Amino acid sequence: MVTGGGAGIGRAVAIQCAARGDRVAVLDIDGPAAQDTVAAARATGAGAAIGLECDVSREESVARAFEQAAGSLGPLYGAFANAGMDAGGWLHELPAETWKRVLDTNLTGVYLTCKYALQQILKAGTPGSIVCTSSPAASVAFAAGAAGAYSASKGGVSALVRCMAVDYARYGIRVNAVVPGATETRLMWANVDPQAVPEMRRRICGEVPLGRLASPDEPARAVVWLLSEESSYVTGSHLVCDGGILAKASISV
């Protein structure tokens, strides 16, 4: 089960899981984008695949999607709670509605995805793995600023991952987070004027120790490893895939 699977890292994870022969459910608020990923997953070798329109901020939408996916694909054994958004703004100017929309999508959406994933895995009585998308913003402030809502939501995701890992370890359910850095996705440029993207990309590449942005396939490989039995003794962890950003001091001297 992959939320936010219509684009970016979510799409890359769905396709990489398909290449292993997994059955894949792709959820996205953009239904046609989810279906496009499903077509790519089937072409890559998915055991089966289904695409569903889902708004992760609405419980009834998440519950319905999980029910439909289980009916089509059988018991759930892995979930990637990835759907997210970013709406920037200085806190003293940020409308309460914007704050709520970011938290509802990024944090409540992860809670709802994990809630229904845990229910299905527990019902099946088998081990499972859940991976949630956090961010470097959960640990440090973005230098550009005006990311209070996004940072708060991702900090909440990181705390939730640790709690779930402890709570559900006794059932053989592992819960981890991936921490992607600057990745070439639509979300990366959500708050950037399209004309400013080339210059912003140049500046970011100069700040990342590895000297470039990630492609979605790179953090996706980290997610697929966490979902797989290759990481069978890993839970409650944050797998940082950020090109060295969190290892770097904030000043240049």
Active site residues: 150
* 180, amino acid identity: P
Q: Measured between alpha carbons, how far is 205 from 64 in angstroms, rounded to an integer?
A: 41
Tokens of 175: 């819960």
What is the Cα 133 distance to its own chain's centre? Answer: 3
Rounded distance between C-alpha atoms, residue 65 and residue 52, angstroms: 7
Return the H-helix or E-strand segment holding 173.
strand 173-180
Q: Are 54 and 28 in contact (CB under 8 A)?
A: yes
N- to C-terminal Cα separation, the chain: 44
Can you list the positions of beta strands (E) in 192-245? 238-241
- Alpha-carbon torsion angle 50, 180, 226, 38, nearest 10: 10
User: Are the CB atoms for 8 and 23 separated by under 8 Å?
Assistant: no
Burial of 142 (0-12, 13-18, 19+ CB in 10 A): middle
Between CA 171 and CA 105 the distance in angstroms is: 28
